A and B are shown apart, each in its own frame.
Chain A
């Protein structure tokens, strides 16, 4: 029997606010345990939560950017369960009336476009953090740090529209690009700012009833998402083929083995007894608010990607890479605004610049070569002042010193030699010194041509205009 996997994703996005969702404690990562707490996030009796306005603004942005409708009215609800990282005994979340409903995202897998539905987006508070056995004195207990408790999250729930692990990863990457682009999330998966639970089931091909699903938790990188889903699909198919049945349960992905394992003990917790939280008044977002948010929305990555293709003539792939982050897209467009050769600038940004950034571990925001300097460099190539090869040397010097490319070229005497007389003189010298190879070439062994080009370039210290060298060399050898 052939099986059809069905996948839905729940993504938790930690919002980039200064303070928590219902109190004024800082959301800064990595502080001393429990140093960023107050009666509200500690769940002390009598403390009242008050909603952080920016959380709502971010949620509306996320909703609009993923084609959701923004609910005129939404309500916070209590999700009741006991766990030591949840001081109140309930999590404030949204249940029946979430802030965003019914959106979608387009993804591309192997050149095929597919639209993935988004069921809902809701706001909620994060729980605290538990530490096990990593500290002296904790070998027979667990430590609770409530700094993260009450940190604002968006939960973005997809429809079960995904069919393969690759589609799931493409969807996640698209969503990641959007929330970081909007500046509402730092996207750091290792620190848990963007995390994903995957609901996976399989059904016989052609069946109309979905199979029983397992929920996989704890997948904190794109690579792990792919691994975890692929393993889970295989596990479920094997189980069914061996006559077993899939049970609805929570499974934990183990990055060390690449497998998922059952998380026993949590299955009975699925009776959350949601009810509206009387401490928080309903949230009403009028048309004016939505319109204002729509006006403030930046050009989104997909739109920009399409515009880069139509406006600057770059390839589909290049456009996607250049819009991987908003900073990179801004950088690229900053260069193109000063020197309109979109394709050449694209090659430099994706080539030398990306290589240098990777080698030095810097982000584009820390790049020592400004867009203006890179544009100047490409201008020098396009005007024939320096060759593309020499430009790499100049680039390295710019990277080190942050100086003007024109000044570097002048100071180091790197101006391209486009004087035919001078190049011809070099060529004559090379041909005279390598009579054997000249005979070979004239005897039909045209591969030797590359050898001559190399010799001429070396003799000119890389400064000879390569196109001119080719042309003149060909004439001389033919003649």
Chain B
């Protein structure tokens, strides 16, 4: 594997993380080691094996279309850092 600082910066941007120069180098090395380890799986022969999206052999879990009571505005907002009336309040988002 060859994870570069640029890869780390890209992932950090997508995850909204601000990293210092030292951290970028540190994480590039760590990520490289982790992915290198996982990469070992590539040595296995997987010809003829379908990709697995789920580990449990189960399908079609449904619920019926019935509306049930909500938890209520107060509970919904109980852990909100900030609110205005019944809205969560967040830093201004540019449209």
| A-to-B contact residues, CB < 8 Å | 17-19, 24-28, 32-39, 42, 50-56, 75, 80, 82-84, 130-132, 135-138, 140-146, 252, 265, 268, 271, 273, 276, 278, 280-284
Interface 1/0s, chain B 53-95, versus A by CB < 8 A?
A: 1111011111111111011110011000010111111111111
Sample 25 A-B pairs with CB under 8 A, ordered by A number.
A19-B65, A32-B73, A34-B86, A35-B76, A35-B86, A37-B71, A51-B62, A52-B64, A53-B64, A55-B65, A80-B14, A83-B93, A84-B90, A132-B93, A137-B85, A141-B82, A141-B89, A142-B89, A144-B88, A145-B87, A146-B76, A276-B53, A278-B54, A281-B59, A284-B59
Report the nearest B residue to A145, measured CB to CB: B87
The answer for the CA separation of A455 and B89 in the assembled complex, in Å, is 74
Is B40 part of the binding interface, using a Cβ–Cβ cutoff of 8 Å?
A: no
The answer for the CA separation of A278 and B52 in the assembled complex, in Å, is 11
Please state if A56 and B62 are interface contacts (CB–CB under 8 Å): yes
A-B CB pair tally, cutoff 8 Å: 137
The answer for the CA separation of A56 and B64 in the assembled complex, in Å, is 11
Residues on A with C-beta less than 8 A from B76 are: 34-35, 37, 42, 146
Closest 6 CB pairs of A and B: A143-B87, A276-B53, A24-B68, A54-B65, A144-B88, A53-B62
Report the nearest B residue to A276, measured CB to CB: B53
Which of these, A39, A51, A75, contacts B71 with CB under 8 Å? A39
The answer for the CA separation of A75 and B54 in the assembled complex, in Å, is 10
The answer for the CA separation of A462 and B85 in the assembled complex, in Å, is 64
Report the nearest B residue to A269, measured CB to CB: B14
For chain A, what secondary structure do more than half of its interface residues adopt (helix, strand, loop), or is it mixed?
loop
The answer for the CA separation of A24 and B84 in the assembled complex, in Å, is 26
Report the nearest B residue to A273, measured CB to CB: B14
Residues on A with C-beta less than 8 A from B64 are: 52-54
Please state if A283 and B90 are interface contacts (CB–CB under 8 Å): no
Q: How many residues of B contact A (CB 8 A)?
A: 38
**Distance in Å: Cβ of B65 to nearest Cβ of chain A:** 4
Interface 1/0s, chain B 2-19, versus A by CB < 8 A?
A: 000000001001101000
Please state if A18 and B67 are interface contacts (CB–CB under 8 Å): yes
Residues on B with C-beta less than 8 A from A283 are: 59-60
Residues on B with C-beta less than 8 A from A136 are: 84
The answer for the CA separation of A17 and B91 in the assembled complex, in Å, is 33
Please state if A84 and B66 are interface contacts (CB–CB under 8 Å): no
Residues on B with C-beta less than 8 A from A135 are: 84-85, 87
